[in-house]
Amino acid sequence: MNHSLIHLFLFVGTIVPLSAQGPLTPPGAPAPTMKTLAQIEPRTDVLTLGAEPPYTITEPGSYYLSANIIAASGRSGISIQAENVTLDLNDFTISSPFGVLPATDISLSYSAVIRNGYIKSGNLATDGSYAVNGFLNGIFSFGA
């Protein structure tokens, strides 16, 4: 007998029957696995804190602007009265053609981070000094 036939016979004779390993149908639709930005860093739109400036932040947390703010005469744009506040201006502008208060004021000894935006104020007079229109300060901290 040829050696090739013997090897073929031995190989064919040792085949083990195969059985199914489970259903091939997936258990269901894939579920989302990533968290949303709101779950990672909950943020509040400053414009939801009131009908008009000054928008007052009284709770710690993360806040952002969704539009430009124009402060009325004698008013600040945003008042921060809480500890550990992050304010993202989101490339928007706080401006005032009137009054002389700060664009953003931080009360007492609170800490805050203000980033990514603009504060526009003041009219330059011909003698190089600022006229009374606009904010007296861009960001001002009252108290300690």
Q: What is the pLDDT of residues 7-56, one digit of tens each?
A: 555 555 555 566 667 777 877 887 778 888 778 878 999 999 988 888 99
Is 89 exposed, middle or buried, given 0-12, 13-18 or 19+ CB atoms closer than 10 A?
Answer: buried
Question: Does the pLDDT at position 1 exceed 70?
Answer: no
Of 23-32, 57-66, 72-81, minimum mean pLDDT range: 23-32
Confidence category of residue 104, pLDDT binned at 50, 70, 90: confident
**Residue carrying the six token digits 């000894």:** 109
Hey, is 88 helix, strand or coil? strand
Beta pairing partners, 31:
none
Please give the model's pTM, rounded to 2 decimal places: 0.65
